[in-house]
Structure 1
Amino acid sequence: MTFIGRRRWASAGVVVATAVATAGIALSAPSAGAAPGCRVDYTANNWGGGGFGGKVKITNLGDAVSSWTLKFTFPGSQKVSQGWSANWSQSGADVTATSMSWNGNLGTGGSTEIGFNGSYTGSTNTDPASFSLNGTVCTGQQPPTSTTTTTTGNPPNPGNRVDNPYSGAKVYVNADWSAKANAEPGGSRIANQPTGVWMDRIAAINGTTGARGLAAHLDDAVRQAAGSPLVIQLVIYNLPGRDCAALASNGELKADEINRYKTEYIDPIAAILARPAYASLRIVTVVEIDSLPNLVTNVTPRPTFTPQCDVMKANGNYIAGVGYALAKLGAVPNVYNYLDVGHHGWLGWDDNFGPSAELLFQAANAQGSTKANVHGFIANTANYGILKEPYFKIDDNINGEVVREKAKWVDWNRYIDELGYAQAFRQRAVQAGFDAGVGMLIDTSRNGWGGAARPTGPGPRTTADAFVNGGRLDRRIHLGNWCNQSGAGIGERPKAAPESGIDAYVWIKPPGESDGASKEIPNNEGKGFDRMCDPTYTGNARNGNSMSGALADAPLAGHWFSAQFQELMRNAYPAL
């Protein structure tokens, strides 16, 4: 059996138990002539009440191996209840852990860490006396030693997440983005703002040219925290067949590569997040933007369908991938998962709104996940929807024309801005089955719409169209336009608990990073050319056959776009 579940870890220094063994580490059969040997460092953290966590560091002292099997025997009543970074099983007192696809290779001197949660009865929790790796008694054996202690009073419970991770906490400033912002004229005004860290391909985990890897970001977050609560925001964004209704941000994994998504992408991320060194951080994950809602809005028989979205609905890999990610990441007790819910200009219509909430609930309970792994939702990720429209409402009546029914900009949508949409979606998600305590995030990185074009009052009361178009703050040509929008500005600065039901305003999309190239650019990042990023494009059914409104001369998605960054600062609201 395999144990994959919630990890509880006592605070540093509560328990210290180390065993250095050469009887017991079995790395799957070494090649002929291989010199076997290994070391195990075992730490048991007791939190009282018969519960404990075990951390096991395996170091290979022999020849390189491509897979391993670790075995040990508990001396008492201990039972493994769940584990991570290995396939765990137990028969009687005998425990076996085998390597995952991503941590099986151990060169000479190489090491890996795995762990588990367990239980025991009685007053003592004695450490295992020996370990084996691939059936071979390890060389350099030392007698295991232990100074395991049990806490008294209320046991530490690091698995208890706070209601709002942003309350009373600092938020991580990504030094990679900050350096680019600081290099821009005037960029120092916002370079100290926290932004999301995008894990948009497998290579991003270890780092790419000009961008540090996940562990390096987390190390920096620990330094920035300096003992205080700190949130780091990660975008989990690499589903197979990603962004089936767009080409600019298509990913590296093909539609059927769900196993690669699990073993090469999610599993390594979860293992890094579970390291004890990061247990004090509040890790917010934005899970797979632009995915699940496509299965409602962009599939047959909708006029907005794409063949790629039909494929993803049929193969079920969006639901499977999101469920798997929620289960693995949710097993780390200081991770807060937020599911993407699009934006009001995508899901605000009645035939999209409720079905999307129901689909999200289905995904939250797939692949071994439960709704408990969803801490909340995020709206407007990397989009431009205005936070608040103050100058019109959907039920305004202009000379006998009701705005919701007659204004082309609204077009029967029930919501006109992101705040109203996010608060309403939260209520609908609870109705779908999610816990009542779920919170909302709103990405305000590019929805300010300030500058000279910003209206200062309602439009003329001649027709519903004139009233809305004259007074709306969102100056896009069409609500369906999403790529590098001309005239956009930086929005509200990141802020905790700004409105009822809203955990925070956040900058998940780092201002200055392109949405997609305005012309075809060959690349090895899996990113295609989407005409919605071409300023000459006259549109399709998903944007009402309108002009794209995109800026010219844009680079590939995620690459630095200096001209856009400068425009975002010029049009910031509140102004910089």
Structure 2
Amino acid sequence: MRPRTALLAAAALIAASASTATAMTAPERGAAAAAAGCKVEYKVQNQWDSGFTAAVTVTNTGDAVNSWDLTWSFAGNQKVSQGWNAEIAQSGSGVSAKSLSYNGSLSTGSSASFGFNASYSGSNALPTVFKLNGVACNADPGGPTDPPDPDPGDRVDNPYAGAKGYVNPEWSANAAAEPGGSRIANQSTAVWLDRIAAIEGVGTGMGLRDHLDEALKQKGSGELVVQFVIYNLPGRDCSALASNGELGPTEIDKYKTQYIDPIAAIFADPKYASLRIVTTVEIDSLPNLVTNTGGRPTATPQCDVMKANGNYVKGVGYALNKLGDVSNVYNYVDAGHHGWLGWDDNFGPSADIMKQAATAEGATVSDVHGFITNTANYSALKEEYFTINDTVAGKSVRESKWVDWNRYVDEQSFAQAFRTKLVSVGFDSNIGMLIDTSRNGWGGTARPTGPGASTSVDTYIEGGRIDRRIHVGNWCNQSGAGLGERPQAAPAAGIDAYVWVKPPGESDGASKEIPNNEGKGFDRMCDPTYTGNPRNNNNMSGALPDAPLSGKWFSAQFQELMKNAHPAL
């Protein structure tokens, strides 16, 4: 579950994601050199926009004491305003809670509790180091420190709120090496785990632990979100050859044991408990089962196979179950984009199949923190010069060639509406949405400055639409695209964050056939000379020329994205 006001706890040696923990102190120095030890439970009982109420219980695990003074430092701008059952004083970020006359004596194993109200703004980050009578509760002189207790119920509502984003050093180096690239080289982007070898690292590249270790270095004393794309299903991407994967349609057991299980084990390492780990789970898979199967004009034999064998649903369910067991992991399931699922025939059935996957292979809806739209796509965040409710010359914009009876014209309106639909089919009412804005800015000289001419519904849309693709179904290395909104938390109602999941400058697919050992095929939608198929109403592909394999660095695309950025760089 993801309660809006999460029950949070911290102890001396653990990160903010754990519930309670015990830590033994070293002996005190001085005249009263009794062996001190404590267990601290710190819980946020209630939280609102500008304040919170906390309850603290300190348990003496060392020698008996006649009085106690528990101290800690806040990581943010929290300020205690009122306390009870302790004498609480604050100087800067440091807080001291001293016993009163009636609760100072603590024999071995006994506890005292107190509470307080406090104000805050931004992130209400938890204290992570406590001291009992001046001795830090972070070392056990007789043995190793205790690991944190897992408690998936302690996730924060929005992992992006008050947190920095992880900067992938490998992507950052590629970006910085480009002329002008230093302007965005420090943006947070996701790390794609697109094959089993990526877990350990391909060649000299960084593996999963390398990224998590680097994330700990970048974290410092604050909160940090590190994003990973879980992307290696059997028969992966049954409708687009450029992103086919290494596993065959029936290799579900290999997916579970050699891919998901090792990732889950690394995520669960207590070393990484202080990180907020966000996963984007299996892009394109579940939407393909709705739109590209069952005799539709867009159906493919490969998608029909994956629907029949159930391995997309099983794989997603298994991933959600195993990764959702890790208390500091936040799963966001891929939900296509408005130009894919916005039509009536697709909208409801897509929510239904996501519920099916979220309750397969031991998963429950509580393993889903939210959903992500527009992953690695180009749909405009907001169409500024028309809405779905507009009419021109007596016709709805839905009748235009561009909108083509879709109920949504941009990504944010779709994401908010799809969130409501997902809640209606049984997902938690507090789920949040992410929108990938890495390449949907559509700035530059081609960006319109007002509505199109009202001569007809088509002139109105064509002259005023922000999204300048030839067709909304075009998805590969789109010409004219630009960087979109920079990553930011809670930008709109129901939206947890705008994120850069597709790292700008990494190709969607090769524009011609390139032999490789990654299972990636040649998709004609990446060929700029291709005249299209039923998925894009037989329009030109709109792809850039001379593109490398998907995931490889594509300098020309990166330069075009910077040139057409909106907001401009």
TM-score, with structure 1 as normaliser: 0.75
Match of 2:417, as an amino acid?
A: A
- Equivalent position of 1:335 in the other structure: 329
The match for 1:423 among 411, 416, 426 is 416
Find out whether 1:413 has 2:406 as its counterpart.
yes
Deviations 1:141-173 (A, max 9, x none): xxxx7688999xxx9967500000000111100
For residues 150 and 321 of structure 1, the distance between their equivalents in structure 2, rounded to whole angstroms, comes to: 30
- Equivalent position of 1:76 in the other structure: none
- Equivalent position of 1:463 in the other structure: 456
Q: Offset of 1:12 from its aligned partner?
A: 2.7
Deviations 1:103-136 (A, max 9, x none): xxxxxxxxxxxxxxxxxxxx99xxxxxxxxxxxx
- Equivalent position of 1:317 in the other structure: 311
Partner SS for 1:321: helix
Find out whether 1:287 has 2:288 as its counterpart.
no
- Equivalent position of 1:225 in the other structure: 219
Deviations 1:274-322 (A, max 9, x none): 0011000000000000100100000022111000000000000000000
Conserved? CA contact 2:12–2:40, under 8 Å: no
Find out whether 1:477 has 2:470 as its counterpart.
yes
For residues 11 and 305 of structure 2, the distance between their equivalents in structure 1, rounded to whole angstroms, comes to: 45
Conserved? CA contact 1:384–1:482, under 8 Å: yes
Q: Offset of 1:503 from its aligned partner?
A: 0.3
For residues 345 and 391 of structure 2, the distance between their equivalents in structure 1, rounded to whole angstroms, comes to: 24
The match for 1:189 among 183, 186, 190 is 183
Match of 1:474, as an amino acid?
A: D
Distance 1:359-1:46 versus aligned 2 partners, 3 A rule: farther
Distance 1:46-1:149 versus aligned 2 partners, 3 A rule: farther
Q: How does 1:385-534 map to 2 (within 5 A)?
A: 385-404=379-398, 406-534=399-527
Q: How does 1:46-57 map to 2 (within 5 A)?
A: none
Conserved? CA contact 1:47–1:156, under 8 Å: no
- Equivalent position of 1:206 in the other structure: 200
The match for 2:297 among 297, 300, 303 is 303
Q: Offset of 1:211 from its aligned partner?
A: 2.5
For residues 246 and 286 of structure 1, the distance between their equivalents in structure 2, rounded to whole angstroms, comes to: 19
Match of 1:12, as an amino acid?
A: L
For residues 151 and 252 of structure 2, the distance between their equivalents in structure 1, rounded to whole angstroms, comes to: 34
Match of 2:217, as an amino acid?
A: R
Match of 2:266, as an amino acid?
A: I
Conserved? CA contact 2:150–2:327, under 8 Å: no
Partner SS for 1:409: coil
Match of 1:212, as an amino acid?
A: M
- Equivalent position of 1:35 in the other structure: none
Conserved? CA contact 1:449–1:491, under 8 Å: yes
Find out whether 1:252 has 2:246 as its counterpart.
yes
Conserved? CA contact 1:10–1:157, under 8 Å: no
For residues 147 and 266 of structure 2, the distance between their equivalents in structure 1, rounded to whole angstroms, comes to: 27
For residues 532 and 150 of structure 2, the distance between their equivalents in structure 1, rounded to whole angstroms, comes to: 56
Q: How many residues align?
A: 446
For residues 171 and 500 of structure 1, the distance between their equivalents in structure 2, rounded to whole angstroms, comes to: 21
- Equivalent position of 1:554 in the other structure: 547
Deviations 1:9-58 (A, max 9, x none): 976364469xxxxxxxxxxxxxxxxxxxxxxxxxxx9998xxxxxxxxxx
For residues 525 and 46 of structure 1, the distance between their equivalents in structure 2, rounded to whole angstroms, comes to: 50
Deviations 1:419-450 (A, max 9, x none): 00000000000001000000000000000000
Q: Offset of 1:402 from its aligned partner?
A: 1.4
RMSD: 2.3
Partner SS for 1:378: strand
Deviations 1:231-257 (A, max 9, x none): 000000000000001000000000000
Q: How does 1:133-148 map to 2 (within 5 A)?
A: none
Conserved? CA contact 1:532–1:550, under 8 Å: yes
- Equivalent position of 1:379 in the other structure: 373
Distance 1:460-1:531 versus aligned 2 partners, 3 A rule: same
Partner SS for 1:292: helix
For residues 23 and 404 of structure 2, the distance between their equivalents in structure 1, rounded to whole angstroms, comes to: 63
Distance 1:540-1:191 versus aligned 2 partners, 3 A rule: same
Distance 1:460-1:261 versus aligned 2 partners, 3 A rule: same
Find out whether 1:234 has 2:228 as its counterpart.
yes
Conserved? CA contact 1:386–1:418, under 8 Å: yes
For residues 198 and 148 of structure 1, the distance between their equivalents in structure 2, rounded to whole angstroms, comes to: 33
For residues 452 and 233 of structure 1, the distance between their equivalents in structure 2, rounded to whole angstroms, comes to: 33
Distance 1:274-1:475 versus aligned 2 partners, 3 A rule: same
For residues 472 and 387 of structure 1, the distance between their equivalents in structure 2, rounded to whole angstroms, comes to: 11
- Equivalent position of 2:171 in the other structure: 177
The match for 1:539 among 514, 532, 540 is 532
Match of 1:189, as an amino acid?
A: R
For residues 157 and 321 of structure 1, the distance between their equivalents in structure 2, rounded to whole angstroms, comes to: 24
- Equivalent position of 1:86 in the other structure: none
Partner SS for 1:384: coil
For residues 145 and 275 of structure 2, the distance between their equivalents in structure 1, rounded to whole angstroms, comes to: 25
For residues 207 and 312 of structure 1, the distance between their equivalents in structure 2, rounded to whole angstroms, comes to: 28
For residues 508 and 240 of structure 2, the distance between their equivalents in structure 1, rounded to whole angstroms, comes to: 11
- Equivalent position of 2:341 in the other structure: 347
Conserved? CA contact 1:450–1:488, under 8 Å: yes
Match of 1:497, as an amino acid?
A: A
Distance 1:538-1:9 versus aligned 2 partners, 3 A rule: farther
For residues 469 and 516 of structure 2, the distance between their equivalents in structure 1, rounded to whole angstroms, comes to: 29
Partner SS for 1:166: coil
Distance 1:561-1:149 versus aligned 2 partners, 3 A rule: closer
- Equivalent position of 1:364 in the other structure: 358
Percent identity between matched residues is 70
- Equivalent position of 1:568 in the other structure: 561
Conserved? CA contact 2:448–2:465, under 8 Å: yes
For residues 349 and 214 of structure 1, the distance between their equivalents in structure 2, rounded to whole angstroms, comes to: 38
Partner SS for 2:505: coil
Q: How does 1:33-48 map to 2 (within 5 A)?
A: none
- Equivalent position of 1:265 in the other structure: 259
For residues 150 and 200 of structure 1, the distance between their equivalents in structure 2, rounded to whole angstroms, comes to: 31
Distance 1:450-1:531 versus aligned 2 partners, 3 A rule: same
Match of 1:569, as an amino acid?
A: M
